[in-house]
Structure 1
Amino acid sequence: MRKITFTPTFLFQKSILFKFLFLVTLFYSPLQISYATDYYFSTSSGNDGRSATQAQSPSTPWKSIDKLNSISSTLKGGDRILFRSGEVFLAL
C-alpha cells in the first residue's frame, strides 16, 4: 500500500485553493440575491388603480383578487401576498 504524506507545500496549495473558492463565492453571491416583495390587499381600503410600488405598503393596498390574477405572471419565488385580517375576498 502506498503511503501519502502531506507536505507543507501540499497543505499550502490546498489552503490557497480554499481561500480562492471562498472569495469567489463571497463576491459572486450578492449577484444572485433577489429580494422578495410583499403585496398588500384590503377590500375596505384597497384600490386596484394603484401601482405595484404603492401596493407594497400596508397603507396603500390593492383591492381585489382580479388584480392579483393580473400580476400573477410577474411574481417571483419568495414574494408574499398579504390579505388584511378579518376581510372577505371574493373571486368573480
Structure 2
Amino acid sequence: MAIHRDANYFPQPEKFNPERFSEENRGEILPGTYMPFGTGPRKCIGSKLALLEIKLLFFHLLSKFDLVPTENTKIRVEVGPNQFDVNGATNTFLGLKPRIVTSL
C-alpha cells in the first residue's frame, strides 16, 4: 500500500481518481508501481483460490470428456510473426467427446 500512496509515483495519491487507470493514462504508470493484488508469497489469497478453482474445473471436465479436434481445428499451429511465446496466430478450436468409463 505504501507504493500506491507515494506521490512520486501517483500524483495526488489520496484522491480517488479512477481515470488514472484508463486506457489513455496507462502509459503514465511506471512499470512495477501498480500492484493491486501484491506480489510474491504474500500476494492476494483470492488469486490463489481462483487458480485452484480453475485447476479443479479442468480436472473434473477432463475426467468426464476427451478433447478431440473439430472441423475448425488446425492441426498445424501457426505462430504469429510478432509473437514471442507459443500462442497460435489464430484461435484454437477443440471439441469435447464424452468419455466412456468402464469399471475394472
Q: TM-score, normalised by structure 1?
A: 0.24
Q: Which has the higher helix share?
A: 1
> Of the two, which has the highest radius of gyration?
1
Structure with the greater relative contact order (CA < 8 A, sep ≥ 6): 1 or 2? Answer: 1
